Amino acid sequence: MTPGASPATTFSVALLAEFVRSGVRDVVLSPGSRSQALALAAAEFERVGRIRLHVRIDERGAGFLALGLAVESSRPVLVVTTSGTAVANLHPAVLEAHHSGVPLILLTADRPAELRGIRSNQTTHQPGIFGVATRLAEDVAAPEAGTSDPVRAADAAALVRRARDAATGVQSAGPGPVQLNLAFREPLSSAFTLEEAGTDEGADAASVAPATDPLADVLADVLTDVLTDLASEPPLQIAPGLRTIVIAGHGAGEQAERFARSGGWPLLAEVSSGARFGPNLIVAYRELLQSADFGGQVERAIVFGHPTLSREIPTLIQRDGVETIVVAATGDEWYNPGHRVSRRARSVVADEASVADAATRPAREWLGRWVMTSRHVLVAEAEQDVTPIGERGITKAELAAMRAPVTRAMLADAIWRASWPHDRLVLGASRLIREADKRVLGKKIFVHANRGLAGIDGTISTAVGIALASQAGPEPRSSGTTRLLLGDLAFLHDVGSLLLAPGELRPRMQIVVGNDGGGTIFDGLEVAQSAHPTSIDRVLFTPQQVDLSSLAAAYGWSYSRAATRSDLERELTTPPAGPSILEVPLAR
């Protein structure tokens, strides 16, 4: 760095260099004056190919974009903002990341100590503003002139290590958000350049180049941590003898499927569990849980992940005579409906007796009855709402079915069928994720939903983050399409996130909006039967008649509409190459 350089810039460059060295690849930033040193440093790191930079004017969308990038890339993602309300706009994404265990590192620029508490412009109390939602919150004093670069680099390295460790969960209860509140004093930046070869003197850019694969470092740390956990607490051994089911809520992962299979137990896996596949899968689990012959017979439930999509699961757990074991590798808030969970474990295995028992007749009958009955329920429902298309020729009835208006069931089925292992599927919070959860068959595909808090906010930006990170990954998993299925209100809530920065990689992404003119999820509430329909419409359904094609045109996304089943099939199987919106009108 040249003599006379702004300490803000010297520190920002050192900090970003350390983050790159620690494995960070994606930086999301929103513009602002106080954060200019970080922003200009990020622009330089992008120019020399060290990071992927994503610029968004709206910090709320920026936060969710970072969340999507982190979910897909399994790496911490940096978010840079200026001071004031800019910081507060990150709060929704921070809460979601906290509750769903996603590593975000927020670099929030602030005034130095002498300018705080005196009504300076755009100045509020930022340190720790996210409360318990951050794994670590540090208020970092403004960098001083005159401190030598090596000292500053050492400070930056230590700070980055603390932030990285906290965000990936090495020293805390699992991955989550971290806030580094960074004070900057005038001059807020100075000019500098990094050399492409990575030999810039001041920034010590040679050392910016990672010596080893940084991803390997990050994963190795997380893995070491998990293994240490496992070593300090051996897996809970699950013995046979009780009529058992395995429940996989959001984020349960493949381990839930493996575990259910090893013990020969029915697997009730939500659509975004990561475990919705395999021979033990029970798709029609709601109907079965309601039945005395199935739900009524359960003596033990073993729960992975975070179930949020049905009432039947929490009801079962609260029933007398059901022993529930909740499994979570990390985290300190445990799923516990009605405070009735009997045991918690960091990991479980089916013990030898359970594995042997899985092959016995009573165990095979227990599993077989669940699997067969679930299939019967699905077939009966399918006959009601969808006429199958014959393989040879199309009959009159089939033709009519192709021209029939799209239903939610049809939409959920079609989008599931169109998704393959190299694709990504993101589901917004609405009736549609529940519709998918009720019916889609087992398939090993990537499904994400923001179920940490199930907000309708940030859905588009989360999906854009997933799409962009997936495109940057290795082949062939980088070649797919990210499809987002969401309702019209969730779409409109985050419509500003359609704004993509010119020159940035465009997401290979199809947004499918099930447009029923408002929030029809509320029509299912009990109160909708008794309250005045006008009031329900006014304050819950909240009708809208926005022209989505105009919005698409305004933001430069291609647009199409699918009103019939044949339109839908065509649009889903041959989506446009770039960002596109498919509007599907649905009856209320």
Ligand X SMILES: Cc1ncc(C[n+]2csc(CCOP(=O)(O)OP(=O)(O)O)c2C)c(N)n1
Residues within window 427-456 making contact with ligand X, judged by CB under 6 A: 429-432, 454-456
Residues within window 516-545 making contact with Mg ion, judged by CB under 5 A: 516
Pick from ligand X, Mg ion, none: which does 410 bind, CB < 5 to 8 A by kind?
none
Out of 61, 263, 295, 487, the residue judged to bind ligand X by CB under 6 A: 487
Q: Which is nearer to ligand X, 166 or 489 (CB)?
A: 489
Return the number of other C-beta atoms located less than 10 Å from residue 494's C-beta. 24
- If one asks whether residue 63 binds ligand X (CB under 6 A), the answer comes out as no
Pick from Mg ion, ligand X, none: which does 432 bind, CB < 5 to 8 A by kind?
ligand X
Closest Cα partner for 14 from 207, 162, 199, 163? 207
For the chain, report the end-to-end CA distance as a whole number of angstroms: 62
Out of 23, 295, 307, 487, the residue judged to bind Mg ion by CB under 5 A: 487
- SS3 assignment, position 29: strand
- If one asks whether residue 12 binds ligand X (CB under 6 A), the answer comes out as no
Answer whether 265's CB lies under 8 Å from 211's CB. no
- If one asks whether residue 490 binds ligand X (CB under 6 A), the answer comes out as yes
Q: Which is nearer to ligand X, 51 or 429 (CB)?
A: 429
Q: C-alpha angle 308/313/319, rounded to 5°? A: 140
Q: Which is nearer to Mg ion, 28 or 490 (CB)?
A: 490
Site string for ligand X, 491-530 (x = CB under 6 A): -----------------------x-x--xxx---------
Number of H helices, E strands in the chain: 21, 19
Pick from Mg ion, ligand X, none: which does 455 bind, CB < 5 to 8 A by kind?
ligand X
Q: Which is nearer to ligand X, 99 or 300 (CB)?
A: 99
Q: Which is nearer to Mg ion, 164 or 493 (CB)?
A: 493
What is the per-residue burial (b if ≥16 Cβ within 10 Å, else e) of 287-312? bbbeeeebbeebebbbbbbbbbbbeb
- If one asks whether residue 583 binds ligand X (CB under 6 A), the answer comes out as no
- If one asks whether residue 583 binds Mg ion (CB under 5 A), the answer comes out as no
Q: Is 340 exposed, middle or buried (0-12, 13-18, 19+ CB in 10 A)?
A: middle
The alpha carbon of 36 is separated from its chain's Cα centroid by a whole number of angstroms, namely 29
Q: Which is nearer to ligand X, 447 or 548 (CB)?
A: 548
Task: Using only the alpha carbons of the chain, give its radius of gyration.
Answer: 26
Point out which span in 251-259, 324-332, 488-496, 564-572 binds Mg ion (CB under 5 A): 488-496
Longest Cα separation, the chain: 83
Answer whether 257's CB lies under 8 Å from 278's CB. yes
Closest Cα partner for 200 from 404, 447, 13, 336? 13
- If one asks whether residue 270 binds ligand X (CB under 6 A), the answer comes out as no
Residues within window 397-426 making contact with ligand X, judged by CB under 6 A: none
Q: Which residue is nearest to ligand X (CB)?
A: 487
Answer whether 196's CB lies under 8 Å from 186's CB. no
293 beta partners? none
- If one asks whether residue 488 binds ligand X (CB under 6 A), the answer comes out as yes
- If one asks whether residue 249 binds ligand X (CB under 6 A), the answer comes out as no
Least distance to ligand X, CB of residue 96, Å: 10
- Using CA of residue 89, residue 93, residue 96, residue 100, what is the dihedral sign? negative
Q: Which residue is nearest to Mg ion (CB)?
A: 487
Which residues of this protein are in contact with Mg ion, per CB under 5 A?
487-488, 516
Which residues of this protein are in contact with ligand X, per CB under 6 A?
429-432, 454-457, 486-490, 514, 516, 519-521
